[in-house]
Amino acid sequence: MVATRFAVAVHILLLLATAPGGQLTSGRLAESVGTNPVVIRRLAGQLARAGLIRIRRGPGGAELARPPGDITLGHIWQAMRRKGLPLLPVHRGPARSEQGPAPAIPTILRRAFDSAEAAMESDLSAVTLEELCHQMRAPAEAHAT
């Protein structure tokens, strides 16, 4: 679920970054994403609380709160994920009476999963919204020539 919210949040921010004057409403954003405006407003609230966008009530729409070069996918990921919940949860583990290596498995998995999540977050933090905007423009510019 967090991966879907993240993808939609990036979509929203890319549209806001490329829209002139920040006049995109939740209805227009929802149409582009292919979802309901209520979903967009809920995600926009999370993005606003994270300091990534500013929301103007009514027909004003939303706008980025900082330049696209100052917003990374890592910032967006942190805004969308539920604090304290790992992306890769680990099962409870075997009963206490279990013998052998089984009792160590949840701890081993947690360490490996935490490492994978940290690597992913590091990679996401290396990509800015501005870089993605340039990638969006590149195909359009190639077709225009």
pLDDT for 46 equals 95
Query: Can you list the residues of the chain whose pLDDT is less than 50?
Result: none
Number of independent structural domains in the chain: 1
> Which pTM does this prediction carry?
0.84
Which of 113, 127, 42, 114 is CA-nearest to residue 77?
A: 127
Tokens at 92, concatenated: 């409870």
pLDDT for 104 equals 86
pLDDT for 1 equals 67
pLDDT for 97 equals 66
Residue 10 is part of which domain span? 2-144
- Whichever domain contains 53, its CATH number is 1.10.10.10
